[in-house]
Structure 1
Amino acid sequence: MGPRHVTDGGLETDLIYLRGFDLPEFASFPLLDSDEGRAVLADYFRAYVDIAVRAEAPVLLETPTWRANPDHAARLGYDAAALDRINRESVAFLYEVAAARADELVGAEVGGMVGPRGDGYASAGPVDPESAAEYHRPQLASFAAAGAGRATVLTLTEVGEGIGVSRAAADVGLDVGIGFTVETDGRLPDGTTLAEAIEAVDAVARPNYFLVNCAHPSHVLRGMRDGAWKDRIGGLRVNASTMSHAELDAAETLDGGDPAQLAADQRPLVEAFANLEVLGGCCGTDARHVAAMWGV
């Protein structure tokens, strides 16, 4: 595994709670279709480029496309052609952001971000892997055509969709990280342990690595068990809040926690995952939290 990459924090919670944007469908990708939106996104991502420069680490900028899939995008007026366009443009946009400080960065990569077809906080039951592959393949193909270096799917709640995304990424020739979220007990929302989920995906559609996201470090630690599965964790994007997914869903204000405390709480995970190469944040985190994680 290569050197650790700085990546960003909780894009959508930053936009909603810190910058005052309304994001229907919790989708940030429509901002790419306005000058104001592009300016705000550029400002957001530049903060993480700056962290990478200060940390003397490569940066992985991941596209604001977590909700740029057919089900969610259709409710925002985007058809298949518009989705292909926006997913490609998101990659080019982030390459431009990185290029502005290319002479100061030790490395930069743009990754395509994928989200679950359904709710990122709750499982609706088993997902058929082949159906998931067919569903997510167009977005991954758009990223590949635009020159993304890899893809990442975050906040998956069960195994089948992870298998499908991994297969679809292989189909289009993209490296991929499969990201699962966990509840306060350290298990996926459907009750599967991280170890079981990773072993199940690896058995039939081995991705490049796995991630854990959208959970506080204390939640992940409750599900920690010894085993080779820990060596397959290559990315970590934790929440600032100790609240459960249900509590976060109902919250009307942002629980940003304390950046220094979050970095300290996360340290046991950084030490436990020997092959960690991507480190950033998720809901409630912003550039202050990620800077604290990197000690800059």
Structure 2
Amino acid sequence: MDNKLLEEIKSKLINILPTESEIDTGFYGVKFYRRNNAENTHTCIQCPCIIFVANGEKYTHISNENFIFKKGYYNITYIDYPVSSHFYNISKDNPYLSIYMPVDRNIITEIIQNIHHIPNTVFKGISENKADNKLLAAYSRLIDLYNKPDEISFMAQLIIKEIYYRILSGPVGADLKALYTFGSQSNKIYQAVEFIKNNYKEYLHIDDIASKVNMAPSTFFRNFKAVTMISPLQYQKKLRLYEAQRLMLSKKYTVSDAAYTVGYESITQFTREYKKLFHSSPVRNIKEIINGKV
């Protein structure tokens, strides 16, 4: 990895983001991020995406594991994950800088046609890889494009496709092809995740989900946990609780309204499970987030 090129990318992002902020570039969902504050924890449902870190480090807790998004690395999230993240050792003079891209299944499907090996095993739904010089160069040109609005309509797609090509030519290519190849073990788990995500408010039974994706219950449970790092019902529970937190924060829902909206029938159960996950009651947790104490 060319450190000089990485420093150029850092400088370009700082010029575009002189203060702590995020910018939606307007092309293909690409966003530029700058964070100066290392204190607050951020929770959300992380959609499938590619995050390239140009400077700083982000510590992310997914399921029961911790991941470090490091400078010069790109991280791919293959499925929707409830995540909590925070930053360390960053400041105004040494900010966290990153480029976010939502996973575009159409572009991936187009490129992976030339990948012939399809592993019939499952893999974690998140990976971290070091960016090589060719990928760094593509990211650098992507940043340049932000200041060239006349070129965006033609060049954006080409550069985005090149970034995908560079990534898929690396170690994750075969895994991504498996994920999007109907009938593979990974694709079955992907389908199951999509089903739970779309029906998380409902009562779900593992045997029914396993049947929908043509897997024996024991095999389904084992493979689901290998990908998501938690069980199907734990995954559903986290989707519910993270969405409830979002509703209370951004939509000003009451505790009871949030609980019922995400599928709970008992406020007592909701409060108990919320406190277990976020380490404080719903009301206290929301106040702490608003006051910047979490």
Do they fold alike, i.e. is TM over 0.5? no
More strand by share: 2
TM bin, normalised by shorter chain, reads under 0.3
Larger radius of gyration: 2
Q: TM-score, normalised by structure 2?
A: 0.28
The one of the two structures with greater contact order (alpha-carbon pairs below 8 A, sep at least 6) is 1
